[in-house]
Chains A and B, each alone.
Chain A
Amino acid sequence: MSDCIAVFETTHETLRAEEFFRAQKVPFRPVLRPRGLGASCRMALRFAEEELEKARKAVAEGNLVLKSFHRFDGGAWVKI
């Protein structure tokens, strides 16, 4: 199993997402968005791949403006 990243539209949305990830009991770590995933200095939420379904549920629950989910695969972040 690898790690995943959830990228949201703004920092505001990322912080809002944290609340819903916590509510869904998804362990996560706020990290700086990897450079390959957009030109900004913003944060993303990193979590274990086995939590992906719960993370999707958190996004739906919070009606969050998600840009994309990515999985770390072969040394790079691949959109899923």
Chain B
Amino acid sequence: MIYLDDASTSFPKPPSVHEAMLHALRDVGANPGRGGYASAREADRLLYETRSLAADFFGAADSSRVVFTPGCTYSLNMALKGLLKAGDHVVVCGRQHNAVVRPLAAVGPAVSNFDWDGRGQFDAKAFSRLLRPETKAVVVNHASNVDGLLFPLDELRDAANGVPLVIDCAQTAGVVEIRTGERDVVCAPGHKGLWGSAGVGILAFGKKIELEPVVVGGTGSFSEDAGAPPAYPDRLEPGTMNLPGIAALGAGMREVGAVGVANVFRKKMALALDACERLSKIRGVKIYWPADEARRVPLFSFTVEGLDPSEAADLLDRDHGIACRSGLHCALRAHVELGTFPVGTVRFAPGYFNVPGDVDAFAAAVGEIAKKR
């Protein structure tokens, strides 16, 4: 199989990630924060070291404000539900995923959308006009999982003028450098660009942010109180932590760190550019990827004229052993904006471990499919 669905999850994982997970399960075993014996202390240390690593990775000044969650969707839920209530107002930027759309619908703030397709400069004045006294957050999809549109965080942070920024880094963690500002809430998955396992996400937030817990329970601390602990990270980490997953995430982050985020980006981008160039020469293929290289990450969507995207993806899989995701990618609004609703697109999302030969096979397969349609 040629795996080209890195935007869903990265595969394969480095051997050190497998080993770290196995080590936590086989050799550590204990529950962090729940005992004073040697293996419980080792579990504490593993959690602490991975948290410190994640704080460094995301430029978070205070590692106690880096929390492990069950995934990026949970991180976004914890951020949005921990910051907002009905009656508040938010500004939403970028091509939103349902991991943001649905929690916002559940909380019920008034929502203003700032639409920008990556063409031309980010219009700070137009953005600022959307801010209100009751605006409690600006929610941004750092990069679209459909067309790779990359939102300019620094410009947005300046324009937000102190309003907290909730940043969905599902497609950028480990691919683009991210620094956590003092009013930022960074939400990231562990299993995509950080090469860890599914079941672990990161929520990193600055010192000017306070989050109400969405889930409460035992933490092994402040046990005399019925309320959630007052101190981070305990306040946002009730219940037993996914230690094997966290160990795997630590190993993944070390691997990404050893390669270098910029090098990961460069390699994936070279594959995406090669694929884009080849597909653009195939009659009937339409590509959805911002033209400005500074405004995109290494993934794009495409359609084949006269062919349902799900059929195209099925042919890639069945006849060529190539794994690509098709459909709406849990991002309805992105497809509406791109004009690809309701059928969606096929997505090309290479990983760091893909090789140029994978692009050769992919482009040849799409060419064959387009010819037969």
Decide whether A and B are members of one complex: yes
Contact check, B222 vs A32: say whether CB atoms are below 8 A apart.
no
Q: Is the CB of B233 within 8 A of A12?
A: yes
Report how many residues on chain B are interfacial, defined by Cβ distance under 8 Å.
22
- Give the distance in Å from the alpha carbon of A58 to the alpha carbon of B232 in the complex: 21
B224: chain A residues within 8 A (beta carbon): 38-39
Given contacts A15-B48, A31-B36, A42-B33, 9 further A-B contacts (CB under 8 A): A10-B221, A11-B33, A12-B51, A12-B64, A13-B64, A16-B63, A33-B36, A39-B223, A41-B35
Binding site for B on A (CB under 8 A): 9-13, 15-16, 30-33, 38-43, 65
Query: How far is the CB of A77 from the nearest CB of chain B, in Å?
Result: 15
Closest B-chain residue to A33, C-beta based? B36
A10 in contact with B234 (CB, 8 Å): yes
Measured CB to CB, the closest approach of chain B to A7, in angstroms, equals: 11
Tell me if A40 and B45 are in contact (CB < 8 A).
Answer: no
Chain B residues near A13 (CB, 8 Å)?
64, 231
Residue of A nearest to B218 (CB): A41
Closest CB-CB distance, B262 to chain A, in whole Å?
A: 29
- Of chain A, the residue at the smallest CB distance from B44 is A11
Interface flag for B87 (CB, 8 Å): no
Q: Report the nearest A residue to B222, measured CB to CB.
A: A40
Asked if B223 and A10 sit within 8 Å, CB to CB, the answer is no
Cross-interface CB contact of A41 among B33, B48, B63, B64, cutoff 8 Å = B33
Instruction: List residues of chain A with CB within 8 A of the CB of B45.
Output: 15
The 4 closest A-B pairs by CB, nearest first: A32-B36, A39-B224, A15-B48, A39-B223
Instruction: Give the distance in Å from the alpha carbon of A65 to the alpha carbon of B233 in the complex.
Output: 13
